[in-house]
Amino acid sequence: MSYLEAIILGLIQGLTEFLPVSSSGHLELAKAIFGDSSLPQESLTFTIILHFATALSTLVVFRKEVFEIIKGIFQFKWNDEMIFSLKIIISMIPAIIIGLLFEEQLEAFFGGRILLVGCMLLVTAILLLLADRAKNTTKNVSYTNALIIGISQAIAMLPGISRSGATISTSVLLGVDRTKAARFSFLMVVPLILGKVTKDIAGGDINFESSQFGIITVGFIAAFISGLFACNWMIALVKKSKLSYFAIYCTIIGLIAIGYALIYK
């Protein structure tokens, strides 16, 4: 992988992590275009590093909210921040279970499964269309909502299913306020990514040669900076019910991916 390819992949991750078009799916498509021949585990490692970059950009964008949540937790009081934190924890349960029980199977999906990516992008498009037609409300995320949204997040571990698209769409279809849905969607994934990175580093699963350090670094920086922009942009788009545009985009890219996979299989 060259420095230019790493930057492009970083930009793709940063933009598509928050935009409802599947960052993992786009990374797999980009790797296929670049002729990436890395093993599934190595491919997944680079993907995790880029996800870590966008997790940090989320913390920067929502730094005030994160500070209030941390402050509320350490005050040991049953306040709004403590309740929100509990809902985040509940939303993490499905993804943690799937991640622990089916880790090897999930890794296999990150080895150039272009046909799968294309099909899952079509699923994402359907979810976005349904969400865009939902009525606006002022409802908060309930405990039950948090679990259902968490299940959507677990399903979105498949490349091609947009995590933000799936979780925001699920929230909106459950009647949650659009702004609150976006906020919950972006914050709920941060502990999972940080936990995954910590686990892989501690277990020695994230390994790369010293010659790859520069490439990974530029990819990380590109993902972080573009993530800051995309996160703020996505919040504004969700408020204005503009998800149908992304549904059209996912449909087009999904069909192209399916065609590519069938022709060059």
pLDDT tens across the length of the chain (265 residues):
678 888 888 888 888 877 888 877 777 787 777 766 554 455 566 777 888 888 889 888 888 888 877 776 676 677 777 888 889 889 989 988 988 887 777 766 666 678 888 899 999 999 999 988 888 788 899 999 999 999 998 988 888 888 888 999 999 999 998 888 888 888 888 887 777 777 776 766 666 565 577 888 898 999 999 999 888 888 787 777 678 888 999 999 999 989 988 887 6
Residues 182, 237: Cα–Cα separation, whole Å:
10
The helix/strand/coil state of 2 is: coil
Predicted local confidence at residue 122, as pLDDT = 93
Chain CA centroid to CA 47, Å: 11
The helix/strand/coil state of 142 is: coil
Max intra-chain CA distance, the chain: 59
Predicted local confidence at residue 44, as pLDDT = 62
**Does the global pTM surpass 0.85?**
no
Residues 156, 109: Cα–Cα separation, whole Å:
12
Predicted local confidence at residue 39, as pLDDT = 43
CA distance to 11, 105, 217, 218, 220, per residue, from 4 (Å): 11, 30, 12, 9, 13
Q: What is the DSSP letter of 212?
A: G
CA angle 43, 44, 49 (to 5 degrees): 105
**Strand residues in 176-217 grouped as ranges (E):** none
